[in-house]
Amino acid sequence: MRRFGVWLLLALTVSLAGCSSWFEPQGNSPQAECRRQAYDDPAVKQYVIASMGRTGANPQNQFDYEKALRDATNACLKKKGIAVRGGVEPVRPY
């Protein structure tokens, strides 16, 4: 029974560690560099600082933060001459 628990913990740790690469571009690709630079954008930092004092979730603030992060990333990619991904406009919260 103890071995099963150890194996389960190991499998869970490995699966959670692998999930991080699904959400963020890794390495030295232009997308990864621009995503890291976007976190230093003043508009993005403004939303991070504003959300520090809040204890509850506000969907509009989260949407604005994600939009600022996406806009900063896309601006960096455009500056490097890389086409940004197309797609559907994100759904706005009520």
| 34 within some domain | yes
E strand or H helix at 17: helix 2-23
Position 41 scores a pLDDT of 93
pLDDT at res. 69: 94
pLDDT of residue 43: 92
Q: Which pLDDT belongs to residue 52?
A: 82
Q: Which long-range contacts (CB under 8 A, 24 or more apart) does 18-25 make?
A: none
DSSP 8-state secondary structure symbol assigned to residue 68: H
Can you give the pLDDT at residue 86? 76
Q: What is this structure's pTM?
A: 0.65
93 occurs within a structural domain: no
Chunked into runs of 10 residues, the chain (94 residues) has average pLDDT values of 57 51 70 92 90 78 90 92 79 74
The domain total for the chain is 1
* Domain around 56: 25-84
- 4 found inside a domain: no
pLDDT at 71: 92
Assess if residue 53 is contained within a domain.
yes
85 backbone φψ class: left, alpha, beta (φ>0; ψ -120 to 50): beta
Q: What is the pLDDT of residue 2?
A: 60
Residue 62 within any structural domain of the chain: yes
The torsion of the CA quartet 51, 21, 69, 84, rounded to 10 degrees, works out to -170
Q: What does the pLDDT read at residue 61? A: 85
CA geometry: angle at 82 spanning 78 and 87, to 5°? 85
Whether 90 is covered by a domain: the verdict is: no
Q: Tell me, yes or no, whether 16 lies in a domain.
A: no
